[in-house]
Amino acid sequence: MNLLNEIRSQFKSVFKHEEQQNYNNSVAYKMLNSWDNYFFDVNKDIYENPTVRLCVDTIAKNFAKCDVKHLINDNRANDSLDAILQRPNNLMSAYDFLYKVVSMLYINGNAFVYIQTNEKGEITGLIPLKACSYELREVNNEMYVRFQFNNYTETIAYRNLIHLRKHYNEHDVLGSKSDEVLRNELQILTATEQALMNTVKNASKIKGVITLNNVVRPDDRKRILEEFNEKFVKGNIGILDQSASFQAVSGGTESTVEQEKMSYIRKAIYSYFGLNEKIINADFDSVTWSAFYESVLEPLAIQFSQEFTNKIFTDREKEQGHKIVFSENRLQYESFESKITMTQNLLNAGVLTINEARNIFGFDAVADGDERQVSLNFVKAKNQDDYQLKK
């Protein structure tokens, strides 16, 4: 089997035959306020920028630590779907899956996940789709997405795609990409880095002015300068006699200015992604982490939970209490004393179970630790007289 056939066989194993629609029989999907139903993947140059990649990596690796659960009436289902959420497909762990989806979302402004099912309609896998281009089409009054991969195309019903969007404003269906917004900052950052690199390269070279003590013809001045440069370049030593003197010029100021420019632009890019230097460098306290959690991670968790729930379950199943939840331990970076105070209060109020409290401190779960316990020292205010008088 040649390489092309192997690639095609991979796609056949991922996509069901009935999902393969005839593109020629479809029409462009018409929208209310958006003209373009076609968009390309973001140029890879933006992700290859170290500052952008560092920002995306920081968000993706922290969100990828989420615990993904299938709940029924707030109780963990522990069924086949819950198992798939822990291993979405045969190539990815739950961490890899979430990391890739978040990275696609922040770079492209859109992330698509294909819901793979068997003949019975049961979910067998969740597969992130990263294509070269995407096109919104319409087949029998239903929206489809046509994915153009390197050597293959696939047109999939939108109902079978989990679609996550970033900066969802201008387009009726799609989110906005990051490359246009960050273009100026990245161009300035690249130019500044190159200027600083040139400054470092030239730091060891002699910079200054040669003063000739006698009147010299232009040709002789040129010859003296060329001889001086040639001797310096070859041996790093410049020789002058009493007929001339050399005054060095320091270039340290240029380096400082370029570094200040780089710091300013990097902070602007950090701010665009909702980050700061402490989060980037993992040098944060509980207050900084809490702000990062509430402004970046928690909104992502809500977005993922809603979209996964809406696309995976029917309306009837949602009415019965089925939902997908993405959660992360927001207390993991609190101080030890703060954790003790909070868990004591939350345990007594029945907010946390024993195992949830143990998880905050990094301990393993124990048997019968998932039941909530409530302190008997609490009573409804209207019943306090009866309680005190033992009625």
87, 124 contact by CB (below 8 A): no
- Which is more confident, 330 or 272? 272
How many helices and strands (H and E) does the chain possess? 15, 13
For 152-179, give one letter per residue: b (16+ CB within 10 A) or e.
eebbbbbebbbebbbeeeebebbbbbbb
Mean pLDDT of all residues belonging to the chain: 79
Q: Is the pLDDT of residue 177 over 60?
A: yes
Neighbours of 114 (CB within 10 A): 21
275, 289 contact by CB (below 8 A): no
Residue that the structure tokens 């409530």 belong to: 374
Q: Are strands 67-72 and 161-165 parallel, antiparallel or unpaired?
A: unpaired
Q: Is the pLDDT of residue 39 over 50?
A: yes
According to the model, what pLDDT value does residue 369 have?
78
Lowest-confidence pick of 9-23, 62-76, 179-193, 322-336: 9-23
Mean pLDDT in residue range 168-191: 80
Q: How confident is the model at residue 1 (pLDDT cuts 50, 70, 90)?
A: very low
- Which is more confident, 40 or 136? 136
3-state secondary structure at position 177: coil
pLDDT digits (tens, 9 = 90+) for 347-389: 777 777 888 777 777 677 788 777 777 766 666 666 666 766 6
- Which is more confident, 90 or 234? 90
- Cβ contacts of 281 within 8 Å, gap of 6 or more: none
According to the model, what pLDDT value does residue 345 have?
77
Q: Tell me what percent of the residues of the chain surpass a pLDDT of 90.
A: 29
Q: Judge residue 334's burial from the number of C-beta atoms within 10 Å of its C-beta, 0-12 exposed, 13-18 middle, 19 or more buried.
A: buried
| CA 154 to each of CA 125, 128, 164: distance values in angstroms, whole numbers, following the listed order | 17, 14, 19
The whole-angstrom separation of Cα 88 and Cα 80 is: 11
Lowest-confidence pick of 43-52, 148-157, 241-250, 305-314: 241-250
Mean pLDDT in residue range 17-32: 59
Joined tokens for residue 120: 């019975």
Q: How confident is the model at residue 4 (pLDDT cuts 50, 70, 90)?
A: very low
Q: Is the pLDDT of residue 11 over 70?
A: no
- List the one residue out of 328, 325, 331 whose CA is nearest residue 290: 331
Q: What's the length of the chain?
A: 391
According to the model, what pLDDT value does residue 216 have?
66
- List the one residue out of 165, 184, 238 whose CA is nearest residue 207: 238
176, 106 contact by CB (below 8 A): no
Q: What is the pTM of this model?
A: 0.74
Mean pLDDT in residue range 274-281: 92
Q: Is the pLDDT of residue 45 over 60?
A: yes
Residue 17 is given by DSSP the state G
- Cβ contacts of 32 within 8 Å, gap of 6 or more: 172
pLDDT digits (tens, 9 = 90+) for 186-195: 777 777 766 6
Mean pLDDT in residue range 308-314: 95
The whole-angstrom separation of Cα 52 and Cα 49 is: 5
pLDDT digits (tens, 9 = 90+) for 66-100: 999 999 998 889 899 999 999 999 999 999 999 99
Joined tokens for residue 360: 């905050």
Joined tokens for residue 216: 């010299």
The whole-angstrom separation of Cα 277 and Cα 270 is: 8
- Cβ contacts of 282 within 8 Å, gap of 6 or more: none
According to the model, what pLDDT value does residue 6 have?
43
The whole-angstrom separation of Cα 117 and Cα 311 is: 13
Q: How confident is the model at residue 285 (pLDDT cuts 50, 70, 90)?
A: confident
3-state secondary structure at position 356: helix
